[in-house]
Amino acid sequence: MPLSTVTAFVRNLITVPAANLRSRVAEDAEVLVLRHENAVLRRQIARVRYEPADRIWLAALSRLVPRERWRQAFEVTPTTLPAWHRRLIARKWTFTRHRRPGRPSTASAVKQLILRLARENSSWGHRRIQGELARLGYPIAPSTVWEILHAAGIDPAPQRSGPTWRQFLTAQAHGIIAADFLHLDTVSLGRLYALVFIEHRTRRVHLAGVTAHPSAAWTVQQARNLAMTQGCRTDSLRFLLRDRDSKYTRSFDAVFEAEDMEILLSPPRAPRANAICERVVGTLRREVPDRVLICNEAHAQAVLTDYIRHYNGRRPHQSRAQLPPASDEPPTAATVTDLQAHRIRRRPVLGGLVNEYLRAA
């Protein structure tokens, strides 16, 4: 065999392991590069989020990597991979689709009713609420009522706070009448004062009088006139709520105390303590003097009387289920009226500044 042929054969024989060696070195280098990139990404990301498919793939590859190299190959802890694997096995052998449903959960409507009874009755415990539900046709266990109240953060009845101011005033509203002054500016820049009263239960407004000089004697006389009128039924009232104005004297209070009424004084500079009367005063100011030029006391008296007649007789109130203060009808469910069969008639008030609408007969 020629020497050149032997030399070429040896050279090729040496080249094959070198090529294999270089390919392995390249693969190892590529793995090192990937590991380094993975380490860089770990430093930048606080926590890696894995999808279910990623967990399946990593759990499967963990069987091919020696356990002592898991910490270098995987970002998760060594105990996480077996936990994922156990979860996959449990999911495989779980037949929840073929199981019968267990005890049905409490209907959301019943839960809302339980929470409503607890809010509206601060002294009711879970057994009292359970008894009320049974009477209404919702049989339920007392323990279930307790769990619903506990989950909603409602304390047991002895530890609950008392009624709120809204609940207290609503319970006492049937016996309260409030008084306050409304000021009006005339065309000639004069100042007039109107004394108004409002019953909390019905929201009925009473105009006592209008004057440019609201003295203490005038205020007492207006109180006497109000007590003698049939429009204000003082026999059903127990409290008079007023502020600390100097025009309300001891004689003014005596007029109402003679009717077995107690005088309630609001705190100084606290209009919210007499919020209902302050609200109606604001309504009267926006609806009458802000839209009508007042000439004198007689004009103011006539305009306010006309508007208060509309206020008591026709104006709906949200606190009374959209019924006017003078209405004694119980609130009924709303019914849809066929506008093709009924005509709506307008009745102007204050020259059309305010309108009332009626169905034509």
Say if 97 falls within a structural domain.
no
Say if 266 falls within a structural domain.
yes
Say if 347 falls within a structural domain.
no
Q: State the alpha helices, DSSP H only, in the chain.
A: 3-44, 52-61, 70-73, 80-92, 108-120, 126-135, 142-151, 165-172, 216-228, 250-257, 275-287, 297-313
DSSP state of 154: P
Distance CA 62, CA 54 (A): 12
Res 10: pLDDT: 47
Distance CA 31, CA 47 (A): 23
Res 333: pLDDT: 53
Say if 285 falls within a structural domain.
yes
Res 173: pLDDT: 73
Question: Cβ–Cβ contacts within 10 Å for residue 220, how many?
Answer: 19
Backbone angles phi and psi of 262, in degrees to 5: -100, 140
Secondary structure of residue 219 in the 3-state scheme = helix
Say if 99 falls within a structural domain.
no
Same domain as 112, residue 52: no
Give pTM, 2 decimals: 0.56
Say if 358 falls within a structural domain.
no
Dump pLDDT digits (tens) for 111-136. 888 888 888 787 788 888 888 888 88
> Do the Cβ atoms of 192 and 184 come closer than 8 Å?
yes
Same domain as 305, residue 221: yes
C-alpha 172 chain-centroid distance: 24
Same domain as 155, residue 54: no
> Do the Cβ atoms of 296 and 187 come closer than 8 Å?
no
Same domain as 9, residue 113: no
Distance CA 200, CA 208 (A): 17
Same domain as 26, residue 149: no
Distance CA 216, CA 86 (A): 89
Strands 191-199 and 176-185: antiparallel
Res 160: pLDDT: 64
Same domain as 308, residue 213: yes
Beta bridge partners of 180: 196
Domain end residue (candidates: 162, 194, 229): 162
Output the CA torsion sign for 212, 179, 273, 258.
positive
C-alpha 154 chain-centroid distance: 17
Mean pLDDT score of the chain: 79
The H or E element that residue 68 is part of is none
Same domain as 291, residue 235: yes
Same domain as 154, residue 214: no
Same domain as 194, residue 312: yes
Q: Can you give the residue range of the structural domain that contains 41?
A: 3-85
Res 247: pLDDT: 92
Task: Give how many domains the chain has, as a whole number.
Answer: 3
Say if 342 falls within a structural domain.
no
Same domain as 303, residue 231: yes
Instruction: Note down pLDDT in tens along the chain; length 361 residues.
Output: 555 564 555 455 555 554 555 567 677 677 766 776 777 776 666 666 777 777 777 777 777 777 777 666 666 666 776 776 777 777 777 766 655 666 778 888 888 888 888 887 877 888 888 888 888 888 888 888 888 888 888 877 666 666 666 666 677 777 889 999 999 999 999 999 999 999 988 889 999 999 999 999 999 999 999 888 755 666 678 889 999 999 999 999 999 999 889 998 988 888 888 888 999 999 999 988 888 899 999 999 999 999 999 999 888 887 777 788 887 776 555 565 666 667 777 888 888 888 877 777 6
Same domain as 297, residue 220: yes
CATH of the domain at 247: 3.30.420.10
Question: Cβ–Cβ contacts within 10 Å for residue 225, how many?
Answer: 14
Say if 142 falls within a structural domain.
yes
Same domain as 179, residue 314: yes
Domain end residue (candidates: 32, 51, 85): 85
Distance CA 133, CA 324 (A): 34
Distance CA 324, CA 321 (A): 9
